[in-house]
Structure 1
């Protein structure tokens, strides 16, 4: 007999987990609903920390922005939450800048401004040829996508229409879902164009060989016609923390430091172990990415039955390193116009093909750039092979780490008595090693063409390739019909009360929008509709 019986168990305290818990508790106030989170924090891959000495900035070690125009689920959720919250707890956003024309592209040893891609194409060190000569990296890919699926870049199309077009499309006589994105791109432009799109675009894994039918609409959503991003004034992690607080206030429980193992079916319920105790739940929701599901499957034969579904996506790397300074020295990397006015580098990002890859000039909490005083960089944002560069400058992967070393703490955790947590998130759990800091400082100096940069005051990093996440996001594998799998995996074992949700098996992989999408598909099994705007 189980040591404890509950109605609904939710394994995982990321966005999809606490969102599902809150919605289910609203609909079923009398049921015992518990969130089990293996770490000592709520938020999963949303991880927001305040740098020492800079209270008006928040470093986003995980997800950092949304696209309201094409992401209705997170937009509606924020609207709903703000209707419930007092004025002092409103979740507010700011315009999140990305490509500013005066920013830097340091590629193949050549210094360029981002505007030079179109204004001075002869200086771009890639043999692009017609028609890509004089195009930005994003435009090169979008033009190639239009050749692959004619009409799909029409700005009047909806997200669903683009997705349907790609899923039904064929190229060279073969369905797109059976082909890799890299493979089909190389059929419509040359290797130099691909390398240019990879280097100047700043991202590696998005251009890799994942399911072309999913990659194409995904790419257009993020890098398509005039994307507008929003960042979070108090940090993106505020969203899951708010959901967890509302769930706890309604009588739900969030149990941190609760590692689940050994799932099995038992008399119409699901039984599992938590720290040596057995729990029987009427329903179990696994709000987890693929790697976490793989780890749980090692002790859970019930998950081994659906190993093919779980393996339909691949975890992708993501590495972030933040550094702070006494002043925003990068402004000196700007230039003087003919009329004598100075254009500073102060917002958005610069790109390079050296391992730092992307550097963001981090905004203040209201979205304005730091012009004087203490300032911060997202010094390195890597999502591909370059993440391996930092392995030689950090503790070894998969080694034992002191408790909390890489986990943001909520100092007074949510417990059964529903006490309110202290939401002061700490920076020091992620401190970057000295050798890593020294190397990133050297690369930043090279990238900006400056012989001197001030001493780094503080530095922190997060490599999402570490367990239990396995990566910063997940992508659909070649040959998978994602439009079928995303529905099947929600309740993968017939009528058994086992459910799966999360970003990994969605149309918006790598985004909170995807986590909410699969959570809503799962909640429909409980008779709940998606939130309306």
Structure 2
């Protein structure tokens, strides 16, 4: 006999899990609904932590931005939450710059400014043909995509129209969904142009061999038409934390450090184990990515039956490392430009490196000059870098500088303890930023990122790191920072089938099986499909 009976059990405390919990509790106030989260925090791959030495900055160890122009679900959700939040607790956004012209590109041993790719193409150390020379990295791929699916880059098309075009398209007489993105790109651009786009773009996995019919509209949404990003003044994690708070205020329960195993079908519902107790639930929602589902399936026969559906996506590695300093030393690596004043006189103006990112083909790949909570650049005093933002193969570089993967860790914690942690400036001070120190970076990793930042910025040294924290999302139970559709999968069918994969009241949601993989928008999309099964209408647009 079960120790407890629930109407709805939700496994996973990320955005999709707590969003479903809140909406279901609104519509079913008398149902007993509980969220089970194995870690010690709500948010999943949204993890916002304040460094111990900079109270006006928030490090985003997970997701860090949105694209309001093409992501209506998260935009509408923030507006809805802000209607209910007191003014001093509002979810505030700021402009999140990326490629500033004065920022640095250190590629193949050559120092460039990001403006040089279009303004001074002769300086660019890649053997590009005359069509690609003088084009930005994104433009090279967008132009290639237009050759693969003619007309798809038309700015008048909606996101849905682009997806439908890619799903129906053929290339070389073969349906696009049966081909890999990398494969089709190399049929319309040179290998050198592909390497250029990958190096300058800063990401490895976005152009790897995943389902071309999904990759093409996805790429156009993120990088295609002058994207405008927004960051979060109090951290992106504020969104799921607010959802969980509202859910609890309605009488729902959130249970942290509550691992779940041994799911079995019983009497039209389910039973599972959590914290040494047997829990029965009439309906079960798994708000989890592929790797977490696979771990749970090892003890749960009901999931083993749907392994083919679970395996339609591939987790992609993602790594972030933040470092803090006494001052924003990178401002000294700016440039002096000549401008003409209103009187027609030329004047020399110094333009500092202070916002957005710089890129390199070193393993650090991308470095972001992190803003203050109001979105403004740090100009003096303590400052912070997203020192390395890595994906794909480059995440493996850091494996030799950290604890081995899949090591035992304390219950509820995301990371195993370090044998040789980096000792920061405030390690012996009483602190409230315990989450930052839970993700403390190893000493060797911190020393190596310092070496690469020094080289990348063409300096003889960089100032001492005060504190450092990192998160490798390839670790269990996430398996990756995002998931991509496999070649040959009809995602437009699977994304609906997996929501309720059997006749049982078992449901699955999350970014992994969506049109917006790697984004909160995807998590909310699949949550919306799931809620429709319960008769819950979407939020007003």
What's the TM-score, normalizing by structure 1? 0.96
The RMSD of aligned alpha carbons is 1.3
Give the secondary structure class of the aligned counterpart of 2:69: helix
Partner of residue 508 from structure 1, selected from 501, 504, 516 = 516
- Displacement of 1:532 after TM fit? 1.5
Structure 1 runs of 4+ aligned residues shifted over 6 Å read none
Q: What is residue 206 of structure 1 aligned with on the other side?
A: 206
1:62-118 residue CA offsets vs partner (Å, 9 max, x unmatched): 000000000000001001000011111111100000000000010000000000001
Q: Is 1:479 equivalent to 2:488 in the alignment?
A: yes
Q: Quick check: 1:181–1:211 contact (8 Å CA) kept in 2?
A: yes
Q: Quick check: 1:68–1:229 contact (8 Å CA) kept in 2?
A: yes
What's the TM-score, normalizing by structure 2? 0.95
Q: What is residue 101 of structure 2 aligned with on the other side?
A: 101
- Displacement of 1:19 after TM fit? 0.3
Q: Quick check: 1:117–1:124 contact (8 Å CA) kept in 2?
A: yes
- Displacement of 1:530 after TM fit? 1.3
- Displacement of 1:405 after TM fit? 5.5
1:447-476 residue CA offsets vs partner (Å, 9 max, x unmatched): 011112100000000000000000000000
- Displacement of 1:284 after TM fit? 0.2
Partner of residue 439 from structure 2, selected from 421, 430, 437 = 430
- Displacement of 1:275 after TM fit? 2.2
Partner Cα separation in structure 1 for residue 396 and residue 62 of structure 2: 18
1:249-288 residue CA offsets vs partner (Å, 9 max, x unmatched): 1000001111111111111111111122111101000000
User: 1:335-484 maps to which residues of 2 (within 5 A)?
Assistant: 335-338=335-338, 339-403=347-411, 406=414, 426-484=435-493
Partner Cα separation in structure 2 for residue 120 and residue 425 of structure 1: 47
1:120-161 residue CA offsets vs partner (Å, 9 max, x unmatched): 111111111021011000000000000000000011110000
Partner Cα separation in structure 2 for residue 175 and residue 272 of structure 1: 42
Q: What is residue 274 of structure 2 aligned with on the other side?
A: 274
Q: What is residue 161 of structure 1 aligned with on the other side?
A: 161
- Displacement of 1:340 after TM fit? 2.3
Q: Quick check: 1:40–1:407 contact (8 Å CA) kept in 2?
A: no
- Displacement of 1:425 after TM fit? 6.1
Q: What is residue 243 of structure 1 aligned with on the other side?
A: 243
Q: What is residue 15 of structure 2 aligned with on the other side?
A: 15
Q: What is residue 497 of structure 1 aligned with on the other side?
A: 505
Give the secondary structure class of the aligned counterpart of 1:25: helix
Partner Cα separation in structure 2 for residue 5 and residue 301 of structure 1: 21
Q: What is residue 420 of structure 1 aligned with on the other side?
A: none
- Displacement of 1:406 after TM fit? 3.7
Q: Quick check: 1:50–1:425 contact (8 Å CA) kept in 2?
A: no
Give the secondary structure class of the aligned counterpart of 2:186: helix
Q: What is residue 530 of structure 1 aligned with on the other side?
A: 538
- Structure 1 residues 425 and 164, CA, compared in 2 at 3 Å: closer, same or farther? farther
Q: What is residue 421 of structure 2 aligned with on the other side?
A: none
Q: Is 1:143 equivalent to 2:143 in the alignment?
A: yes
Q: Is 1:319 equivalent to 2:319 in the alignment?
A: yes
Q: What is residue 119 of structure 2 aligned with on the other side?
A: 119
Q: Is 1:518 equivalent to 2:526 in the alignment?
A: yes
Q: What is residue 290 of structure 2 aligned with on the other side?
A: 290
Q: Quick check: 1:428–1:460 contact (8 Å CA) kept in 2?
A: yes
How many residue pairs were aligned?
519
